[in-house]
Amino acid sequence: MKLGVVMDPIESINFKKDSTLAMMLEAQERNHEITYITSNSLFIKSGEAYAQSSRIEVRNDPSDWFSLGEEKRIKLSELDSILMRQDPPFNSEYIYNTYILEMASRSGVNIFNNPKSLRDCNEKVFATEFPQCCTKHLVSSEKSLLLEFVEDHGDTVIKPLDGMGGASIFRIKKSDPNLNVILETLLKWFAPILVFTSEEISNLINKNNSSIHEETFMQIPKKWENNELNKKWNKLYKIKQEANIAIEEKRAKKIIGSSLEANIIITTNDENLKLLDDLDLSEYFITSKASKIKSNNKDELRIEVKKAEGAKCPRCWKILQDKCQRCAEASSN
């Protein structure tokens, strides 16, 4: 059987508990031909469903669990069956993908699970069909109803319908005199960092259709200001920007995949080296390895990017020549 698997990027899965990988391993064991399709590669052209895809070989190896063949464009009708394993959130991309899979189904491809069922049985709202299995609950975008529910039931959890993995969940207690202030203040603090999430929550609890990003940001207390620290982080940010540019150039040339495949060497002046002394460089630059070299040129800042050598740590995904001590210690604890 020619089996297509629509999923999130396989390099980002949790090897130890990913059920999609387990299914692919079993399908391969039964001699089925597996085609890997990422959730953003489905498309419709002239009334037919297509995907950018790759043949994939999977392995039960926590340091090296897959190999991809050459990417090519296929009609979904070339497949016998498609396993839809895209993770939530249940957003517009997810819904559009179910329409594309429905088109493939009409051409004779078996789709697991039924695309219509994936739309109709969204995990959070569909659960309300079984109230006997649920705690007291309310589904609403009306702020006054949400506040009334909190007053009626006390200790309450508020979450957006299209979130996942514990993102954007708030716990609020009954008769909290600052409930509105808490909600508004949290949103304003989060807005510059969690841009889209903050906007979604703001739209959920407010009915004035204004954007949280049009609000005035809170006054920063004077005692929080630290000009020296600000200068330091501006300089560090500049170094990181240069590193990101160098890493992206290597990615564009297919020398590395993600930044975690990179080993970077930073050549710069003594002042910059002192700024970097207090940092875990590989963590700051999100690479497997990072080192620094002193330059006698006070204006020099040069980033060299090499492909990291060694084996991938199954826990942190860094590519290291020696066993990852930090992950080993964390696992033992």
For 54-110, the pLDDT digits (tens) are 999 999 998 899 999 999 999 999 999 999 998 766 777 888 999 999 999 999 999
Residue 144: give the domain boundaries.
Answer: 128-214
Looking at the DSSP assignment, which residues form a beta bridge with residue 311?
Answer: 320
At residue 203 the predicted structure's pLDDT band, cuts being 50, 70 and 90, is confident
Of the residues 187, 214, 241, the one at which a domain ends: 214
pLDDT digits 0-9 by tens, 287-313:
999 999 999 888 889 999 999 999 888
Domain count, the chain: 3
CB 104 within 8 A of CB 50: no
Residues 234 and 162 both lie in one domain: no
Of the residues 86, 102, 121, the one at which a domain ends: 121
In a domain, 220, yes or no: no
Residues 195 and 95 both lie in one domain: no
186: domain CATH number is 3.30.1490.20
| Phi, psi torsion values for 47, nearest 5 degrees | 80, 10
In a domain, 46, yes or no: yes
In a domain, 222, yes or no: no
Q: Which of 16, 5, 196 is nearest to 89 (CA)?
A: 196
- The CA distance from 187 to 4, in Å, is 40
Residues 34 and 108 both lie in one domain: yes
Of the residues 79, 96, 121, the one at which a domain ends: 121
| 3-state per-residue secondary structure call for 58-103 | ECCCCCCCEEECCCEEEEHHHCCEEEECCCCCCCHHHHHHHHHHHH
Residues 239 and 318 both lie in one domain: yes
- The CA distance from 105 to 36, in Å, is 18
Residues 162 and 257 both lie in one domain: no
Cα angle for residues 44, 109, 99 (degrees, 5° grid)? 40
pTM for the predicted model, two decimal places = 0.50
pLDDT digits 0-9 by tens, 10-60:
988 888 889 999 999 999 999 999 999 998 899 999 999 999 999 999 999
